[in-house]
Amino acid sequence: FLFSRDSFEKTKPQKEDVIAGWRPKVVG
């Protein structure tokens, strides 16, 4: 990740949404 720890914690929910979006593509 190119984000600092503070930025990661701040955007964590957003990251989870992104993961939820691309995971089906990777798994499928």
Give 23's pLDDT tier (boundaries 50, 70, 90). confident
The residues, ordered by sequence, that sit 6+ positions from 8 with a Cβ below 8 Å of its Cβ are 1, 15
1 has a pLDDT exceeding 70: no
Cα 20 to Cα 5, 15, 26, 27, distances in angstroms: 21, 9, 11, 11
Give 2's pLDDT tier (boundaries 50, 70, 90). low
DSSP state for residue 11 in the 8-state scheme: T
